[in-house]
Each structure stands twice: as structure tokens, then as C-alpha cells.
Amino acid sequence: MDYRAYKQLVSILKKKCPAAFPVSVRRVRMKELDGDCSLGKKKFYIRINRDMSEASAIDTLLHE
């Protein structure tokens, strides 16, 4: 699984939908969540559960 469409979406969102602060998107192991978003010191952090399918990861990324 190379998650090509997911990676392309991350790139497109960063270019076409700029946020007030830089955005970090990472796929990480999460036990109870599909994903979450938080704001650190002038940076958004989006975490996506790495155990999901690519389609689910894309849905979750769009939600966050």
C-alpha cells in the first residue's frame, strides 16, 4: 500500500487551501481515534490513524 491518492490529496490541500498557520499531516498509530487535529505554537497538527484503509484515511483527513 503506497497511499498515493492520500499523499496527493495532502499536497493539494496544502497548496489550494492555505490555513492561518503551517499544517503538519502525519499517519500515526492511534488506538481509539480515526484522527484528530490540534493547534500547537503557530502550527496545526493533523494525525490520521495509520491502520485505516486509504479510502478511510482520505475521508478522515477531509473531516479534520
Instruction: Of 53, 45, 52, give the one whose Cα is nearest residue 26.
Output: 45
State the Cα–Cα distance between residues 34 and 31, nearest whole angstrom.
8
Q: 6, 50 in Cβ contact below 8 A? A: no
Q: 9, 58 in Cβ contact below 8 A? A: yes
- pTM for this one? 0.91
State the Cα–Cα distance between residues 14 and 1, nearest whole angstrom.
23
The pLDDT score that the predictor gives to residue 56 is: 97
Express each pLDDT in 4-61 by its tens digit: 999 999 999 999 999 999 999 999 999 999 999 999 999 999 999 999 999 999 999 9
Query: In the predicted model, is pLDDT for residue 1 greater than 80?
Result: no
